[in-house]
Amino acid sequence: MSRTNSRQIHLMQYADPNGPTPESIFKLVEVTVPEPGPGEALVRNIWMSCDPGARGGMTNQKGERISLYALDAPPPAGSIGQVVQSNDPSLSAGDYVRSSRGWREYFVAPASELRKWSGEPGTSISSFGAMGGAGHTAYIGLIEAGGGITPGETVLVSAAAGSVGSYACQIAKLKGARVVGIAGSDEKCAWLEKELEVDATINYRTAGNLSEAIRQAAPEGIDLYFENVGGEHLIAAIDNMKMHGRIAVCGLIDRYSKDGMPPPHNFVQVLYKRLRIQGFIQGDHPHLDAQFEAEMGDWVRQGEIKSFETVYDGIENAPKAYAGLFTGANIGKTLVRLGPDPAI
């Protein structure tokens, strides 16, 4: 086996803490990937996941972030690919493996760093679907952090047409809730109502007073808010929470590009309304894994949960895909196709 030519994307500078995530902070680089050593495998990537949370490591933000990603190197990103050559008995050529080594076409890594994926050849995109990280995050947010859903409750979801948000809307509907979704375009709102049967939607870019728009969409108030955005969305949601309402804080994407965002000016309502606000991280609840796999697996098999992707083709388009998370260019899960499936 000879050395392999590959292309990868390097982070060349940190994004402005108070600005967008421009494609210009990335650079396409051609490299030669070495042969795998003992205990290592050569992998050809097929899909790379774009996740807003990674922006923290790409931003010279003061405060909460401890480690920044290295410059002139690929940042971490979830990916799935196929083993081309293995020098470890745990892996064979053709095995699908998940890793955090996105942003590159080929790579060599220790086998211990690679997690086997057991799906059928040609279906690796489904590893990012309902049973993947986004579906799991939505489930944990609603069922654990949000305290579950009683049929008839009203659930508000922000960034509703995104990856996690689209699963949160569908799970809440399946649990019998009336669902109100907030998204950034009329097209996304129409898609939410048509494809996901969301009961009411709000385009936050044209709504004007977001608090009033939520009041009109949910005059009875909100029982559970699935928070993906923060900022004005959180303020407007707090205004509309019912007494003893719950807020599951999944993400604060509006905050990722704004250093030092002030807390909500109406925070006093948390006290008056006896609200419960619970942040959560997807992987922190392994005791719910079996329950998630059983319940979500049933919904998927019965065709009750749909997965949607915005796919960018080619490593050269990975910066554009990533930047699109912050401009609202994408619907559903944002993925970059780095190579064919099967890859070898």
Ligand X SMILES: NC(=O)c1ccc[n+]([C@@H]2O[C@H](COP(=O)([O-])OP(=O)(O)OC[C@H]3O[C@@H](n4cnc5c(N)ncnc54)[C@H](OP(=O)(O)O)[C@@H]3O)[C@@H](O)[C@H]2O)c1
Of 40, 51, 199, 341, the residue at the interface with ligand X (CB under 6 A) is 51
- Candidate residues 250, 321, 336, 338; the one interacting with ligand X per rule CB under 6 A: 250
Q: Which of 121, 147, 118, 144 is nearest to 131 (CA)?
A: 118
Least gap, CB of 29 to ligand X (angstroms): 26
Q: Is 162 in the site for ligand X (CB under 6 A)?
A: yes
**Which range in 2-10, 112-120, 180-188, 209-217 contacts ligand X by CB under 6 A?**
180-188
Full DSSP string of 80-144: EEEEEEESSTT--TT-EEEESB-SBSEEEEEGGG-EEE-PPTT-GGGGGSTTSHHHHHHHHIIII
Q: What is the DSSP letter of 214?
A: H
Q: Measuring CA to CA, how many Å separate 132 from each of 83, 93, 109, 114, 255?
A: 20, 24, 22, 16, 25
> Given candidates 48, 155, 222, 229, which one binds ligand X under the rule CB under 6 A?
229
In the chain, the N- to C-terminal Cα span, in Å, equals 14
* 163 near ligand X, rule: CB under 6 A: yes
Cβ at position 236, least distance to ligand X in Å: 11
Q: Which of residues 60-89 bind ligand X (CB under 6 A)?
A: none
Give CA–CA dist 132/336, Å, rounded: 16
Beta carbons within 10 angstroms of residue 228's beta carbon: 27
Determine which residue in the list 281, 289, 298, 313 makes contact with ligand X, applying CB under 6 A. 281
254 interacts with ligand X by CB under 6 A: yes
> Which of the residues 122 through 141 are near ligand X (CB under 6 A)?
134, 137
Instruction: Name the residue among 139, 176, 141 with its Cα closest to residue 247.
Output: 141
Given the complex with ligand X, which of 245 and 251 has the nearer CB atom? 251
By CB under 6 A, residue 334 contacts ligand X: yes
What 3-state class would DSSP assign to 200?
strand
Select 84 or 145, whichever has its Cβ closest to ligand X.
Answer: 145
Query: Rule CB under 6 A: is residue 184 a binding residue for ligand X?
Result: yes
Provide the residue type at 76 as one letter: P
Residues that bind ligand X (CB under 6 A): 51-53, 134, 137, 159, 161-165, 183-185, 188, 228-229, 250-254, 280-282, 325-326, 328, 330, 334
